[in-house]
């Protein structure tokens, strides 16, 4: 199963956060948002298909996030969790920890914003369009 989220880069994208990464539907970004990779996302957690969400709630699920912008690509792999809600209507967050809130889309990720390819981050800081594809197995 797959979900695709489209977002836009922004000049304040730094991708320096060591434990999370985020996409937001907000149309602005302050320098404090060091985990945010894209703004004006066309989906938030609450918009995901309920069948997809149910699959992500399996503790044995593997969730892969592929980020693509301006010819650059990064892949992040995380795990499902029974407490995932997918109810937030503003953003989606991947976490390297096991913390879960209404924005969390996967836990135990192998990368956070700070671990991403710097060429991808630079493209996003220049305003590139971002395609984020989530797959659950």
Rounded Cα distance between 98 and 49, Å, is: 22
Rounded Cα distance between 68 and 99, Å, is: 26
Give the DSSP letter of residue 39: B
Query: For position 7, what pLDDT does the model report?
Result: 98
Query: For position 103, what pLDDT does the model report?
Result: 97
Contact 125, 14 (CB under 8 A): yes
Who contacts 23 (Cβ-Cβ below 8 Å, separation ≥6)? Answer: 5, 7, 36, 37, 38, 39, 41, 91, 92, 130, 132
Query: For position 80, what pLDDT does the model report?
Result: 98
Q: Which domains does the chain have, with CATH numbers?
A: 2-136 (2.60.120.630)
Query: For position 63, what pLDDT does the model report?
Result: 98
- The pTM score is 0.96
Give the residue-averaged pLDDT of 110-123: 98
Rounded Cα distance between 9 and 79, Å, is: 26
pLDDT tens-digit series, residues 29-69: 999 999 999 999 999 999 999 999 999 999 999 999 999 99
Query: For position 134, what pLDDT does the model report?
Result: 98
Contact 20, 113 (CB under 8 A): yes
Who contacts 47 (Cβ-Cβ below 8 Å, separation ≥6)? Answer: 89
By percentage, how much of the chain surpasses pLDDT 90?
100
Map tokens 């997809």 to a residue: 52
Give the DSSP letter of residue 113: G
pLDDT tens-digit series, residues 2-33: 999 999 999 999 999 999 999 999 999 999 99
Who contacts 54 (Cβ-Cβ below 8 Å, separation ≥6)? Answer: none
Query: For position 128, what pLDDT does the model report?
Result: 98
Query: For position 70, what pLDDT does the model report?
Result: 97
Copy the structure tokens of residue 106. Answer: 């996967």
pLDDT tens-digit series, residues 72-94: 999 999 999 999 999 999 999 99
């Amino acid at each position: 199963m797959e979900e695709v989220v489209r977002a836009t880069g922004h000049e304040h994208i730094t991708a320096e956060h060591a434990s999370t990464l985020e996409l937001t539907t907000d149309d602005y970004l302050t320098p404090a948002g060091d985990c945010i990779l894209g703004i004006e996302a066309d989906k938030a957690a609450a918009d995901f298909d309920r069948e997809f969400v149910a699959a992500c709630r399996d503790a044995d699920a593997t969730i892969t996030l592929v980020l693509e912008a301006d010819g650059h690509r990064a892949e992040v792999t995380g795990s499902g969790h029974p407490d995932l809600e997918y109810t937030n209507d503003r953003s989606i967050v991947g976490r390297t920890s096991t913390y879960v809130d209404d924005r969390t889309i996967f836990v135990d990720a192998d990368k956070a914003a700070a671990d991403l390819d710097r060429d991808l981050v630079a493209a996003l800081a220049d305003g590139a369009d971002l395609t984020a594809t989530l797959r659950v197995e």
